[in-house]
Structure 1
């Protein structure tokens, strides 16, 4: 007897009437109209069953700290960094853990079951590292948390950063991070990329750098990151996050850069909610939005994810862990409004970030982990349009969260008694 059988599901690839059989935490069969005895049977009633959402770029050490010690009045990246520097001396491990756990609760409720979080290693106490390693241990039964050693104050600008970064890796942090555009000079930025990539190659680790998070078209550290990836044989293991300067770069330079990035198998994470909030602050009109060139990157075969980045912290005052909100904003800013492009935006918060994180057993195929989300939508585009209710969230075949279907009672003459905003096709 199966542990769980989901029937009458619609899958993201468009297949309908599908059944998913689960045994011992894994998917054993995916077939049309499968009927079999099971301890639990869930009728999806034609709704969308998706693999869980994945966030490839977040800052869990800062989350839910909005207003501490004060609010970012200018709304700029640099004031946010300064604010975080003011807050760091007053941080406690208990507060860091509690805020991070509260955010993980939000994430699970939104069907977000894997997060890559950058953690600041420039505090000599490595307090945030200790806190998030504890959080990683606590949430492991229900959420994959991957940590990046992030030298927020600059790997070279902070004279002790490289030593502290290596300590963080020794403690169990998973990925090597960087922030080359925040170094004192362009040359130091390029050198930091070289040193950090060499460290990752030596240790056999992945790389994820905040890269060119700037309006400056001459901030071109992604070119150096691409070169070092090729030189060190790190293809498929390196991610450039943000890349907002590409929004302002010369088109000829980008036409050379994109094929090189594709050759090096560079992954990209764009963070639309934060990129369009922080960038262009020095512009009058027209105002640059700052989000990197997502459609062009996808056209070159790059793996591109859309990340949340921040929720209620010194850089961003909003957010709820809803990756469909992230996909919706990315869709609008990039003008990705064809049916195919909107589905690419759904992939950018599911399968693409799962690839970037090198998640084991992710997907809706036999042999994959039985991790999935039942959405109140009939297809991925409708899910983005409605930011669809997560009706049920499963991990390893076990129910983690459920939300009642969204409906509105109506009191209109001659009209139905309720609506759910789904667009049902005639016949």
Structure 2
């Protein structure tokens, strides 16, 4: 992205700024009705030196934001960089979950060489960096024999991008693939790669529906794989509108019963919003008791869920974010899939994710601390204490917007945003889609 021409390359101060209370440990002044505080931010040696009351900063050496907002660098806690951008060569013919699953399976088996995965994975990283993301977790399809290739690409790019984006990875495969020798192989590879153990709470070839009779035994075995290797857990849970999909409650109860000490994040949890009220309340309480983190993917799930040809969708495909948050559960939003059969759109832009989340999930009236769902909350869920906040001593990795109030911020793409890394303007540009034409073997018309 091209920074504004009047913006200093390395400002000493960000003057006359607005900052959400979601990002501040100690607000330097009162918040307005949208949860925004007027502030001046001092930058020194690549870090935040002070968050001061508005009017503190001198004019010289400062970037005057004229009331524009400052956000910490985004944290995208749930992505699929290994399957990203394959849409031009492998579309989803039906637009639903089953069509997406079959299309990705076909593409993965035929085309996912190291070169192919690397090119698409790094394209996604370049988009995310230019938009202001500083940390992310990507899920990696972990099916043999292809899985080890993608994990090798992850390790290579994680190291190559160190200092630009903090990259974590989690495995993803159906629950029954973790039983027996294959489960040990996956868990060992994840541990050796410094990853997170992840799976989906459905069986191979199936959808998220009624739990099979041996679900609890398989879930306990999965937890034992993580426990034996000291791994965190990240799960794709109940991604359907089938009220028989009730894995979330069992995961929470299992976490407590086993005394599992590492972080557990659960994504999607769509069917919870369609459950009977009593069961939904019980599940929300269990999640709070277990200390689970919930991450929701509203753009992707609105695209996939309740899709029937010739029929208007009747529900939004998302989970009970307000009820979970009210119970004390940490709730994040993330981009999920990007230009692949699970979601045909997207650009790895967490501002777009938050903008659409605010509309889809009603994260407004008031906004309160909901901006933390794209920054602070995922940073906490991923164990990144220096991310997601604006406070003295933290890295000056920030995103500066012209938008002042939240309706200004969320009504335009903010394409003139300025991304600061280490207090300096980042010169990264969004890559052109045409760079992928040769990799994909097709040019999108």
Contact 1:154 1:161 in 2 (8 A): no
- Aligned CA RMSD, in angstroms, stands at 2.6
**Mapping of residues 101-250 of structure 1, within 5 Å:** 101-125=122-146, 126-151=148-173, 153-156=174-177, 161-183=182-204, 186-234=212-260, 237-250=263-276
Task: State TM-score, norm by structure 1.
Answer: 0.85
Structure 1 CA distance, aligned partners of 2:274 and 2:184?
34
- For residues 224 and 178 of structure 2, the distance between their equivalents in structure 1, rounded to whole angstroms, comes to 18
> Cα gap change, 1:251/1:172 in structure 2, threshold over 3 Å: closer, same or farther?
same
Of structures 1 and 2, the one scoring higher in RCO (CA 8 A, sep 6+) is 2
Alignment of 1:248-287 (within 5 A): 248-282=274-308, 284=311, 287=314
SS at match of 1:45: coil
**1:316 pairs with 2:343:** yes
Taking a change above 3 Å as real, the CA distance of residues 3 and 371 of structure 1, as seen in their structure-2 partners, is same
Deviation (angstroms), 1:182: 3.1
Distance 2:426 2:144 in 1: 35
Deviations 1:140-191, CA, capped at 9 Å, x for gaps: 221111111222x444378654133223223314211011223566234433
**TM-aligned CA distance change 1:256 to 1:269, over 3 Å:** same
Q: Give the drift of 1:337.
A: 3.9
CA distance in 2, matches of 1:110, 1:197: 36
**Other structure's SS at 1:67 match:** coil
1:350 aligns with 375
Tell me how far apart the structure 1 counterparts of residues 406 and 157 of structure 2 sit (CA, whole Å).
Answer: 31
Gap runs ≥5 in structure 1: 404-427
TM-score, structure 2 as length reference: 0.82
Contact 1:377–1:383 (8 Å) recurs in 2? yes
Contact 1:55 1:308 in 2 (8 A): yes
Match status 1:78 vs 2:98: yes
How many residues get paired? Answer: 397
Rounded Cα–Cα distance in structure 2 between residues aligned with 1:22 and 1:296: 38
Tell me, in whole angstroms, the C-alpha distance in 1 between the residues paired with 2:251 and 2:390. 33
Deviation at residue 329 of structure 1 after TM alignment: 2.4
Q: Name 1:94's counterpart in structure 2.
A: 115
The 3 A distance-change label for structure 1 pair 344 and 177 is: same
Query: Partners of 1:215 and 1:181 in 2: how far apart?
Result: 14
Query: Structure 1 CA distance, aligned partners of 2:118 and 2:313?
Result: 42
- CA change 1:382–1:188 in 2 (3 A) is farther
Deviation track 1:287-309 (CA, whole Å, cap 9, x = no partner) reads 23221111111111111111111
Distance in 2 separating the partners of 1:356 and 1:401: 29
Answer yes or no: is the 8 Å Cα contact 1:11–1:379 preserved in 2.
no
Stretch moving more, 18-27 or 130-139:
18-27
Offset at residue 282 of structure 1 (A):
4.7
Instruction: Tell me which residue corresponds to 1:422.
Output: none
Question: Within 5 A, what are the aligned runs for 1:58-69?
Answer: 58-68=79-89
Alignment partner of 1:30 out of 51, 55, 68? 51
Cα distance in 2 between the residues matched to 1:229 and 1:102: 36
| Aligned mates of 1:298, 1:205 — CA distance in 2 | 26
Q: Which residue of 2 aligns with 1:10?
A: 18
Separation of aligned partners in 1, 2:59 and 2:414: 30
Q: Structure 1 residues 336, 18: closer, same or farther in 2, change over 3 A? A: closer
**Structure 2 residue runs without a partner (length 5+):** 1-9, 22-30, 430-445
